[in-house]
Structure 1
Amino acid sequence: MLGPLHVAAGPDRVSRVPPGRQQVVLGALLLDANRVVGIDHLIDAVWDDAPPVTARRQIQICVSALRANLTSIGRGEAIVTRPPGYLLRVADGESDVQLFAALTAEGEALVRSGDPRGGLALLRQALALWRGPALGGTAGSRLTAKAAKLEEDRIAVLETCFDLELNAGRHRQVVGEISALVAQHPLRERLRSQLMLALYRSGRQAEALEAYRATRELLVDELGLEPGEDLRRLEAAILAGDPSLAVGAEGVPARQGRERQAPAAPPPVGTVVPLQLPADIGEFTGRAELVAQARELLAQGGRATRVVALVGKPGIGKSAVAVHVAHLLVEEHFPDGQLYCDLGGTREHPANAADVLGRFLRAMGIPGTSIPDAEDERAEMYRQLVARKRMLVVLDDAATESQVRALLPGSSSCSVVVTSRTRLTGLPGVRVLEVEVPSQDEALEMLATVVGHDRVDAEPAAAAALIRLVGSLPLALRIVAARLSARPSWSLAWMLERLSDERRRLDELAHGDMMVRASLALTYDGLQGESRRLLRLLGALDGLSFPTWVAAALLDEDVFVAADLLEGLVDAQMLEIVAVDATGGPRYRFHDLIRLFSREQLERNEGEGPRAAAVRRVVGGWLALAGEAHVRVYGGDFTSLHGDAPRWRPSASHVDRLLADPLLWLEAEQQNLCSAVETSAEEGLHEACWDLALTLVTLFEARCYFADWDRTHQRALAAVRAARNSRGEAALLCSLASLQLSWSRARAARDLVEPALRTFEALADGQGVALARRNLALAHHRLGDLDAAAPLYLAALEGFHASGDPVGQAWVLTQVAQIELESGEQESAANRLYEALDICRRFGNHRVEVQVRYRLSDLMIRQGRHDEAAEALTELLTGVRASGDTVGEARVLHKLAVVRGALGDAGGAEALLREALEVRERAMDHGGAAETRAELAVVLADRGDRDAAVSLLGRAISTFAERNMGAARLRAQQVLERIRTT
């Protein structure tokens, strides 16, 4: 594929694939080799957006012809029919694309390990596979786009080679090759910097500087941009004759900063298409010129990511314009999805880039276990995922360039819309559009859309005066229009007279946000007493959206009473409905300026006592609901600890509606729950703080939200330590130990849980002691110290029994059974596992039951009951897939493959392992994927395919070495040696 499409099984066995449809179909199947390619995708690849009515039949004919061609070289079985299309089987090493990726990965690994000469040889070997443009001569825009991605990979490898050759002093030899590539790709700054350095080192300083000037002129003319920092720094170094430019010198400025770590190319992320845009404004009017300009900038082609920043003063309507423009573009220009995030730039604690990247990666199908901790690694994974996709990213309320920079895709197929109160001119390639107040005609249309054209037409002078009085500011104008709409008997002149009574204040509000404050005060004065009180108390919350029961907690009222008051605030334009939750109930949010206004009213009209009591009730509400969600997930209040903080509970029927799916509710309210931990810490509610943080582990553990686990616990830990709350501190340390165990950091877990155990023992807290002993036992177990782990497990088991925690008992029974299985005590292990299974089923704890059933399958395998193990694992596979447990799915597929192999079904084992490998690659679980490759290599070797087995083991060993997986690496090397010697 790295050149004109060519299929052969040797020099004399060539498949002649006719140009046209057959080559396009074969190319599409090859690009997604070993994956099912739908007929619809093949139709699009052949005919783009204008297929004939006979398209499906013609695709079937093409596939039949391809099978006949492949039969001529002995590969007729390679194309398999798999609904909803076809799958082309290609073994490792059979495709030049696969060989290119493998050689590139091995070469980059050698470079990282300190062998640049060996790495360069492999990279040049990879480049030698190219015979011309990828899929050269094969038509179809879909294939052209994928071929462009391969070409991008080729250029990236060439750039790496140039760096290595420049470092080796081969500057004269590469000048010509770099110059030719610069001519083909004139906007690649890395190539330009390499050319400048090669010229300078070759004694051609003037030509190096001329290359910089030519680059600058091109970038300014084509993109309106100055060269990047690396190029500018290199030019300065050349002018100064900087000695660091010499071969072998430290700090060569051709590549500034940390050396690029070449990641393995990510596989496709399944079929996940994120659709995160908020709803458009139904009555959006005006701003036609601005909207048209933004649409044109975002939709036009180019060589870089298109970034449009909408900037303006508060309340001007930046977010509304951004969302409206996005909705106009997505269907035609961005079919691969939309990502959206409110960055909270005007809040006290704006969102950080690492957290936003984590949200985006999850939205694109990456599970929590595969998301890196470091921001730069998350950004790298994000850019890989969106590369070549046509996606739109909307970043609302940005504070600074640094908050946004890591969130920008690296692909020219994507566009970004940013809103901010500041001009983000430091972003690469940004086009800044000022959002100004609407014109008089646009403001009139806004007013008429809400109150009715007949009323505006009847009083045109009053309408124009109203618009002038509020300065055409959209927020103030909407408030005025809402009051008129709610009171159809009022004339516009009467509304004008009411506003005129405040004329002195309005004159003062011509300088920024005071105009908004006065307009809000007018609406606030028109509210009933309880509505005003609710608006004030809502000011105690942060800027997140909230459900109805939160208002009920603030007022200590019935949910339906609070709902009516909320709807009144919505009608008055003081709140907005931003979504509908899973129960069908609305979610509300303040505009930022209105929230500030409500806080001012709270400080002026409510004492500290009522405010603090209202906050305690809301925190108590989150605590009560999270606790009930935990009970419903675990089948009871098990494996948990609680403090004595007061709870506030909505009605039982409302709780049932909210928690119909408790884990789904926890995930939907994740941000609010984490914010409640922060709020309780700020308010000095340390008992509620640690209790809520611990309760949220139900979500964090199930969905691998490890960063939130750590963040909430560290915040709560600071709160309890400040309050000298020793029990809360011990509970948090014990839970943080569980987190460390999830991160495979057994020693760190042991160091955390040991002081927690001492505290629980001093407090005579039986449940706490049992939990701490359980975690300490698991830490010793992971460290291989079974002599220390076994008695601690048994002591924890006794402790859970004494405290009435059967699920805790079931969990410990599973771990003790694992030790017994490893020691050959199968009968005792079986008794413990079946006892644990009975507990889980009696109390409905699905999570621990999955672990028990997985261990039972291991027991069956050890006992030679492979048919039973296969049946049990197949049933378990259905369950983990239904719950979205990607990690569990890969583990079960792997174990099921081992069983199929033991039953003599080598083909079934191979298919399952390939499926497990696909799941792990899709989730970017590189370590797990390497383990699966090693297992698959054994199966292939047994089936006689030694070359493929050796190739798989080589890739696996490379990954094990990179990730310090010593034991796995040793096992793989032993298998490799055995295959080579037999």
Structure 2
Amino acid sequence: MGETRETGELRFALLGPLRAWYGEEEIALGRPQQRALLAVLLDAPGRTVAHGVLAEGIWGDGAAPADPRKALQLLVHRLRSAFRPYLAESPIVRVGDGYALRVPDAGTDFAEWRRLLAEAENGTSPHATRELLRAAHRLWDGEPLAGLPGPHAEAVRARLAGERLTAVERRLELDAELDDRPALTAEAAALCLEHPGRPRLVAVLMRALHRAGRTAEALAVYEDARASLPPEPRTAPGGPGTRRGPGAGDAPAPDSPAGLQLRILRGDPTLLGGPAEGPAEAAAPVRPVPEQLPADLADFTGRGPAVDALADRLAGTGGRAVVVSALDGMGGVGKTTLAVHAARRAAGRFPDGQLFADLRGADPTPREPAAVLAEFLRALGTAAEDVPPGTAERSACYRSVLTGRRVLVVLDNAAGPEQIEPLLPGSADCAVLVTSRTRLPGLAGAHHLRVDPLPADEAAELFTRIAGPDRVAAEPGLAEEIVAACGRLPLAVRIAASRLAADPGLTLAALSEGLRDERRLAALDDGERAVEATFALSYHRLTPEEARAFRLLALPDAPDVALPCAAALLGRSGAAADELLEKLVDLNLLHSPGFGRYGYHDLVRAYARARLAEEESGTERSAAAARLLDFCLATARRADTAARSVDPAEQSLLDTPVTGTGRPLATGADAVRWMRDQAPVHAAAVALACADPSLPLAQAAELVDKMGSVLFERTQTTVIAALAARITEAAGARGDLAPEALARYVRGSMLWHVNRYEESRDEITRAVVLCESLAPDAGPAARVWAKALLTLAGNARVNGRHEEAAGHAGRAAEVFRALGAERAEGGALGEFAFNAARGGRLDEARRAAERGARLMSGTGPVSAATGRYYLARVLRLCGDPEGALAAATGAREEFARLQVAVFEAAAGDLAARIHAEAGRATLAAEAAEAVLPLARKTSAALEAALLHTLGSALASLGRPRQARACLGDAAEVYARLGITAEEAAVRALLAALPSP
């Protein structure tokens, strides 16, 4: 006997092809009959298996050799030879009239499978049980004993397949219970198609569809499956836990398909909730806990009764969602400070987080509730692409997300009830604090609290704490004069005391005299005038450089400005700007809501703007605005490159010059974060350019174009469209055709992405006309022209005008070719090829699609996948379904890896259609269901297309009710979008279905 390996452990795998290892080295087990013999022995580890049983398991009744005993001896000999290089003694031993296999207790994946299932039966929590089941399923490598002959292998396959399916059902039930898997619907639907008549699978699918908002489909699943379901256990009305057979008066079990049908029809709210409350589990998904409250003031003074009243209100939440308190009072009286102090004191009662928003109600343009809702939803863990487009939809989503959470919401500086109401939670466990300059009598359920100036003693105490007790004690009586001159308003007192603390040489007497002079000069006679006098006193003591920074930072109408933008605005280095702005923060003339961000109290902003208008020349204001716009555009270009690896020929659509280099952005995530965070500053820069004829509208138009390129999400499209409309108006008034063309293209593109096709077509058509008037073949307008033509092509395609679409896309491809923009040319060729194929020009279409795919293959992974997707569309129409399916599947996998959801859904829809056309209805339904959740988040038109495909496939599979639900939803979406040709096709399918 040859040498054997000295170390190692013998292991076997049955949950897939039969394999064996010694240590890390795989053992060659030989021919199928040898492995079939080994499989029989592995099914009875350590026990003797008689010759007759072995022969029956390998060959059955009619296929045994003439001498089965001799044949078995030969098979055993060969198997022992396979083990000999590894083991000194064979694991197969002769025992009486048979053989036995000596293997360790845990030497097979089958043993590990059974161990994990047993642990799952006794799982300590739903999460722990599910993790055990997932670990068990990871052991599988395909069909058990794949490829082995004989009755025994067939019986083992059937038995293990049943065990596996039962375990899958249990895992899916836990997924439904925990409600944390968006892909659950697709997996459950696929299994229902593969294994009809399984009540547990039907129940899981019904629950998942209902929670996904597809209630009609959930009910239809039950109706279609009813005939194939076995009789259900029933619950006797007299005893909730009593089970008995079907009979009069019995109720179906609540979690059975019939029970779920009744609960859905009755609107059972527990079906839409998450898991029952209980101790937190380590495996539970972590929900973000926002902590957005501004910092509390270390020198907060007074307000004891008000703080106590707010604390009592917060302690009494529960039973209904209420606005705990609406604080009103004049500007500078300390409403925000009081609200933040009370909120921080109560934060422990709200373990799921605290939300804060400045609604800018005192500004000329208060914040839109939709924008605030988008920020809140993202802070609560909703992905940007999942935020709905409209205010009402966002508000409903916000209330749903807050269900079951204890969150405190602070809404500062509100304009009125109509701004607040969409931001109110629906959960009884949440609370809201609102501050406003005016009383809000229309706010239902609110407890109103008027915030007055501080009492004289509390105002003096606040002054002393900031200025220092020694300074105040050195000049008795003057502190009371100063706080009286400040109207006892905390903001004014704070600024006056900060002025004193910052200047050791300034006396209280000089400060008091200065305030008296300022009040006389301004004829001050009310509280807010007292604040203005305090501003003036502090402002007049600033250095010229500090005063200039104070004025210029008020130029953009934005809540706050990031340090890099502020440095550009001021024309100073980052370090110099930081030093200036931090000095203004120290004087309470600015506040810093976050690291490197600077803003004003609204009263201070108004004062700074007044100073800006009176003391800065128009030339200097224009120069500052130009610096800001230039910096924003330069950084936006870098963001575009980081986020999209932009083709140089597409980088600047108008060849707009910039003088700066912008801010470095390392990754695509950094780019998106910057562009999202700075969107208010970008909007302010665009507004300045539109209002100032000396500023280049071309820069503003390109900045808006970059916003659209990087922030490709529903939360920004309407904002970008509005900015583009503002540029078109200003450019039209100036006769500046190139920026107007780009702005119209951007607006039309944004409208296209929110499915407003007719408006988009009108805007893009006007952009094309403008470009053509600019001789685009010879100028930078060529890029705008080509992109506008391509968008027109997409619009025509959606509406079934394929010849028109091919014409637009073909012209776009020619222009991109002349520009040397290979990726863009490839995309245009893909659009052209699809529409040409729909028009019957198949050879021309295939050549164009193949060229487009080649051009796009070398310009980045997203472009390469897009090229494959475009090619797949054309191959399908050209009669090459298998080539089309391979390209579509490859594209979908790449889009999934790159997290490009909208194209992943489109490629999945294409694969589903190819399966359907080949008569593979089950595969079509599975492919459509797998990407439908993505389409619902990204594109209504894609959602309708997938529902159309899914409905058709379900009809072919004999599920008319579920098909009707899908097709009905598709028709409604198509009707809403105005896509009449597809709507008509779907309604024709509906009419052909049998009556319910």
TM-score class normalised by the smaller sequence: 0.5 to 0.7
Q: RMSD of the TM alignment (CA)?
A: 5.1
Cα displacement (A) at 1:476: 2.0
CA contact (8 A) 1:693 1:716 kept: no
Cα displacement (A) at 1:94: 7.0
Q: Does 1:511 align with 2:511?
A: no
Cα distance in 1 between the residues matched to 2:736 and 2:273: 47
Q: Does 1:876 align with 2:895?
A: yes
SS at match of 2:859: helix
CA contact (8 A) 1:850 1:876 kept: yes
* Higher deviation after alignment, 749-758 or 760-769: 749-758
Cα distance in 2 between the residues matched to 1:95 and 1:808: 42
CA contact (8 A) 1:276 1:338 kept: yes
CA contact (8 A) 2:482 2:515 kept: no
Task: Report the residue type matching 1:794 in the other structure.
Answer: G
Task: Report the residue type matching 1:668 in the other structure.
Answer: D
* Higher deviation after alignment, 823-832 or 665-674: 823-832
Shift of the 99–742 alpha-carbon distance from structure 1 to 2, 3 Å rule, reads closer
Task: Report the residue type matching 2:690 in the other structure.
Answer: A
Shift of the 136–612 alpha-carbon distance from structure 1 to 2, 3 Å rule, reads farther
Could you report, residue by residue, the CA deviation over 1:855-910 in whole angstroms, capped at 9, with x for unpaired residues?
Answer: 35657885525667545533331211xxxx54445445666778999999999987
Task: Report the residue type matching 1:314 in the other structure.
Answer: G
Structure exhibiting the larger radius of gyration computed from Cα positions: 2
Q: Does 1:414 align with 2:425?
A: no
Shift of the 132–422 alpha-carbon distance from structure 1 to 2, 3 Å rule, reads farther
Match of 1:78 in 2: 169
Could you report, residue by residue, the CA deviation over 1:413-436 in whole angstroms, capped at 9, with x for unpaired residues?
Answer: 332221110000111111111223
TM-score, structure 2 normalization: 0.66
CA contact (8 A) 1:906 1:939 kept: yes
1:318 aligned residue (312, 335, 338):
335
Cα distance in 1 between the residues matched to 2:542 and 2:941: 60
Cα distance in 2 between the residues matched to 1:271 and 1:133: 41
Cα displacement (A) at 1:596: 1.7
* Number of aligned positions between the proteins: 768
CA contact (8 A) 1:874 1:896 kept: no
SS at match of 2:412: strand
CA contact (8 A) 2:373 2:394 kept: yes
1:579 aligned residue (594, 618, 623):
594
Cα displacement (A) at 1:511: 1.1
Match of 1:432 in 2: 448
Q: Does 1:735 align with 2:746?
A: yes
Match of 1:864 in 2: 882
Could you report, residue by residue, the CA deviation over 1:322-341 in whole angstroms, capped at 9, with x for unpaired residues?
Answer: 23333333443251x44433
Structure 1, unpaired ranges of 5+? 1-38, 46-54, 65-70, 111-128, 138-145, 148-152, 161-261, 581-585
Match of 1:526 in 2: 541
CA contact (8 A) 1:578 1:587 kept: yes
Cα distance in 2 between the residues matched to 1:107 and 1:86: 19
Q: Does 1:561 align with 2:576?
A: yes
Cα displacement (A) at 1:541: 2.6
Cα displacement (A) at 1:723: 1.4
Task: Report the residue type matching 2:338 in the other structure.
Answer: V
Shift of the 94–482 alpha-carbon distance from structure 1 to 2, 3 Å rule, reads closer
Cα displacement (A) at 1:611: 2.3
Shift of the 558–375 alpha-carbon distance from structure 1 to 2, 3 Å rule, reads closer
CA contact (8 A) 1:625 1:655 kept: yes
Match of 1:477 in 2: 493
* Higher deviation after alignment, 764-773 or 747-756: 747-756
Match of 2:672 in 1: 663
Task: Report the residue type matching 2:627 in the other structure.
Answer: R
Q: Does 1:591 align with 2:610?
A: no
Cα displacement (A) at 1:625: 2.6
Q: Does 1:828 align with 2:847?
A: yes
Cα distance in 1 between the residues matched to 2:561 and 2:536: 23
Cα displacement (A) at 1:362: 5.2
Task: Report the residue type matching 2:896 in the other structure.
Answer: L
Cα displacement (A) at 1:853: 4.2
CA contact (8 A) 1:550 1:618 kept: yes
1:500 aligned residue (513, 525, 536):
513
Match of 1:705 in 2: 716
Shift of the 795–614 alpha-carbon distance from structure 1 to 2, 3 Å rule, reads same
Cα distance in 1 between the residues matched to 2:337 and 2:235: 49
Match of 1:855 in 2: 870
* Higher deviation after alignment, 632-641 or 969-978: 969-978
Equivalent residues in 2 for 1:48-63 (5 A)? none
Match of 2:859 in 1: 840
Structure 2, unpaired ranges of 5+? 1-119, 137-161, 180-187, 189-199, 221-233, 243-253, 256-260, 276-284
Q: Does 1:760 align with 2:771?
A: yes
Cα distance in 2 between the residues matched to 1:828 and 1:969: 31
Shift of the 541–739 alpha-carbon distance from structure 1 to 2, 3 Å rule, reads closer
1:679 aligned residue (684, 688, 708):
688
Could you report, residue by residue, the CA deviation over 1:381-436 in whole angstroms, capped at 9, with x for unpaired residues?
Answer: 44444445433332221112222233333443332221110000111111111223
Cα distance in 2 between the residues matched to 1:924 and 1:763: 35
Cα displacement (A) at 1:363: 4.9
SS at match of 2:361: coil
Equivalent residues in 2 for 1:299-318 (5 A)? 299-307=315-323, 308-318=325-335
CA contact (8 A) 2:412 2:435 kept: yes
Cα distance in 1 between the residues matched to 2:761 and 2:570: 45
* Higher deviation after alignment, 410-419 or 736-745: 736-745
CA contact (8 A) 1:368 1:705 kept: no
Cα displacement (A) at 1:591: 1.3
Shift of the 159–536 alpha-carbon distance from structure 1 to 2, 3 Å rule, reads same
TM-score, structure 1 normalization: 0.67
CA contact (8 A) 1:553 1:618 kept: yes
SS at match of 1:412: coil
Shift of the 642–669 alpha-carbon distance from structure 1 to 2, 3 Å rule, reads same
* Higher deviation after alignment, 923-932 or 731-740: 923-932
Task: Report the residue type matching 1:635 in the other structure.
Answer: V
Shift of the 44–679 alpha-carbon distance from structure 1 to 2, 3 Å rule, reads farther
CA contact (8 A) 1:694 1:735 kept: yes
CA contact (8 A) 2:500 2:511 kept: no
Cα distance in 1 between the residues matched to 2:475 and 2:568: 44
SS at match of 2:410: strand
Match of 1:292 in 2: 308
Task: Report the residue type matching 1:79 in the other structure.
Answer: R
Q: Does 1:403 align with 2:413?
A: no
CA contact (8 A) 2:388 2:714 kept: no
Cα distance in 1 between the residues matched to 2:239 and 2:938: 26
CA contact (8 A) 1:278 1:323 kept: yes
CA contact (8 A) 1:699 1:705 kept: no
Match of 1:217 in 2: none
Shift of the 438–384 alpha-carbon distance from structure 1 to 2, 3 Å rule, reads same
CA contact (8 A) 2:639 2:668 kept: yes
Shift of the 662–316 alpha-carbon distance from structure 1 to 2, 3 Å rule, reads same
1:715 aligned residue (703, 726, 738):
726
SS at match of 1:877: helix
Cα distance in 2 between the residues matched to 1:134 and 1:886: 49
Equivalent residues in 2 for 1:684-695 (5 A)? 684=693, 685=695, 686-695=697-706
Shift of the 927–440 alpha-carbon distance from structure 1 to 2, 3 Å rule, reads same
Cα displacement (A) at 1:936: 5.7
Cα distance in 2 between the residues matched to 1:793 and 1:756: 16
CA contact (8 A) 1:354 1:378 kept: yes
Task: Report the residue type matching 1:673 in the other structure.
Answer: H
1:616 aligned residue (626, 640, 652):
626
CA contact (8 A) 1:570 1:577 kept: yes
Task: Report the residue type matching 1:864 in the other structure.
Answer: E
Match of 1:963 in 2: 973
SS at match of 2:598: strand
